[in-house]
Amino acid sequence: MLGSEVKALREGHADISGAYVRISGSEAYLINGKIFPYKFSRIEGYQEDRSRKLLLHKSEILSLKSKMDQGKFTIIPMSIYLKDDNFKVEIALCETKNKRDKRRDKRRDTLDRAQERELKNII
């Protein structure tokens, strides 16, 4: 990581809401994790959503890769925190959603919003 990225992370300027972890070969990368630019640094050529290499033990990478190969799983980052002057990314292995689940969740969200609007109009 760059020095300006570390300073931005210390201020909490990161977004991992749409990020995931991809394992290629014997390395793990954080994809779509955004670290916004530090306000006092140069921003020429800075890519806030570039992929970043994660440092994992070889046995951890092999176990995650074998579980991903077994079924429809994906690895997502849960949080970024500072420990002993090192930034850690807490990752979790979870099942991927298929299109049916996504449609069901979207339908549920629209119904919830409609109910909230009706309650708001009644009050």
CA 96 → CA 29, 72, 93, distances in Å? 18, 6, 10
What is the chain's mean pLDDT, rounded?
A: 86
The pLDDT score that the predictor gives to residue 13 is 83
The pLDDT score that the predictor gives to residue 59 is 93
Contact (CB, 8 A) for 9 and 86: no
Tell whether the model's pLDDT for residue 8 goes beyond 80. Answer: yes
The pLDDT score that the predictor gives to residue 15 is 84
The pLDDT score that the predictor gives to residue 1 is 66
Q: How confident is residue 71, by pLDDT bands cut at 50, 70 and 90? A: confident
Contact (CB, 8 A) for 28 and 42: no
**How many other C-beta atoms lie within 10 A of the C-beta of residue 5?**
21
Q: Report CA torsion sign: 99, 69, 63, 52.
A: negative
pTM: 0.71
The pLDDT score that the predictor gives to residue 40 is 82
Q: Which domains does the chain have, with CATH numbers?
A: 3-96 (2.40.280.10)
Q: What is the CA angle 35-13-42, rounded to 5?
A: 65
Q: What confidence tens digit (pLDDT) does each residue in 23-39 have?
A: 988 899 999 888 888 88
CA–CA distance, 5 with 67 (Å, rounded to integer): 31
| Per-residue tokens: 82 | 């500072």
The secondary structure of the chain in percent helix, strand, coil, rounded to multiples of 5, reads: 35, 30, 35
